[in-house]
Amino acid sequence: MGDSILHVGIDLGTSRSAISASNGERFVVDSFVGWPLDMVAKKVLKRDVLIGHEAVSNRTMLDLHRPLERGLLKEGSEKDVEAVRELLKHLLKLVGVNGKVKASDVRAVVGVPAAALRTNKQYLRSSMKGIVDSLLIVSEPFAVAYGLDALLHTMIIDIGAGTTDFCVMKGRYPTEEDQRTLTIAGDSIDTQLLKLTEDRYPQANVTIFMVRDWKENFSFVGDVKERCVVTAPVKGVPTELDITNEIKAACETILPPIIETMIDLLARVEPEFQERVRNNIILSGGGGLIRGLAHELETALKSVGGGSVRYMEDPVFVGSDGGLALAIDAPEGDWEKLTA
């Protein structure tokens, strides 16, 4: 049985979902699922369901769903449950499940926001029945910490699309006191950037999808030398727009709540360990790629004695890799207990 088992770590994100598998495969997909709106669309698309970037690209022909809200499965919506099941099936198929590996041989660890309620976890667990039966659900920043072997005197700040999760690792499984979740994250930057761009260029035709791409290409806080110039239709004519100030303003909206939460959590660490945690702060998630963010956080830390903030080189997979490490390390006896 041992050889046929496939361990996977899944970062089920509001915007993107990543999977890392013990067979060496790693994939990331946009967390969008769409069904053709009518028979014509079905005929054109030649598919019953589209997932990820493909779904976003063909969204005009689809009943498009983004099934995760603030990192959690939307509740009370059967279509969104179906969407998240399709997303999971797709992720598992990408790493070979149902091809070379049977679903019953999968051992999965899924990361959820730090503040996820017990009811949220129960709902996720029941929604995944039949796709992943052997399931361990952990807080996303904890998965990151585990993968980096940073389980002692470390603070993880995981900035996703729906949530920013904080977790102070104290050499134990984090409790509610050690963790925080803010809903100020990538999506709130998108909303701000869309509003600021529309305010400055009222005649430009801009969508949230365009704004998301711009943010991913140009996001920064503090000062940068180059200008952020994008192209968008103005009265139907492709036109170059300088959105440097708008990008900066939108990205900087997340700074005050992140700084406030970081310092508040640090103040709750036992005094003798505070300096060690201050010098061991790790940024992960897509938001970790915002240029200048680590520097701004370090500047803020000066008011409490200084500290060090570092980026992860591979922020997209750091959560799923951590989940994979947990899945591999969990003894088979524990997996038997966790099997639905």
Partner 1 sequence: MRATKSTRVKRRVLREAVAENLDVIRGIPPRSVRPGNRFLRIWTRRVLFVAVPLTLVGSTYVISQTTPQPITVAALPLRPVAAPPQVKAVVSASALQTERVTSAAFPLAVRRVVIDAGHGGSDPGATTSEIQEKEITLDIGRRLRALLERDGFEVVVTRDRDHTIALKDRALVANQSKSDIFVSIHVNALAKYTESRGIETYYLGATSDPSLTALAAAENRVSGYSMADMRKLLDGIYADARRDESHELASAVQRKLYASLRKSDPGLENWGVKRAPFVVLVATDMPAILAEVGCISNKKEAALLRKADYRQEIADALFEGIRAYSGANDPQQQKGSEQNG
DSSP sequence for 240-252: EEE-HHHHHHHHH
- Cβ of residue 141: shortest distance to partner 1, in angstroms? 13
Residue among 92 and 114 whose Cβ is closer to partner 1 = 114
Least CB distance from residue 120 to partner 1, whole Å?
9
Return d(Cα 250, Cα 137) in angstroms, integer: 32
Q: How far is the CB of 72 from partner 1 (least distance, A)?
A: 9
Task: Classify residue 7 by burial, with Cβ atoms within 10 Å: 0-12, 13-18, 19+.
Answer: buried
Please state whether beta strands 281-284 and 152-159 pair in parallel, antiparallel, or not at all (unpaired): parallel
Give me 33's structure tokens.
Answer: 């699922």
Q: Rg of the chain over CA atoms, in angstroms? A: 21
For the bound state, the minimum distance from the C-beta of residue 177 to partner 1, rounded and expressed in Å, comes to 7
* CA distances, 132 to each of 7, 111, 153 (Å): 11, 14, 33
Residue placing its CB nearer to partner 1 in the complex, 181 or 280: 181
User: Residue 121 Cβ, how far from partner 1 at the closest point, in Å?
Assistant: 5
DSSP state of 74: P
Q: Are 221 and 289 in contact (CB under 8 A)?
A: no
115/156 with CB nearer partner 1: 115
* Choice between 292 and 323, CB closer to partner 1: 323
Amino acid at 122: Q
Per CB under 8 A, residues contacting partner 1 are 69-70, 74-80, 115, 117-119, 121-122, 125, 135-138, 142, 146, 149, 151-152, 171-173, 175-177, 181-183, 326, 329-330, 334, 337-338
Q: Which lies closer to partner 1 via its Cβ, residue 11 or residue 289?
A: 11
Q: Residue 279 or 299: which CB sits closer to partner 1?
A: 279
Helices (H) and strands (E) in the chain, counts: 13, 17
**Which has the closest alpha carbon to 29: 83, 70, 100, 109?**
83
CB of 210 to partner 1, least distance (A): 18
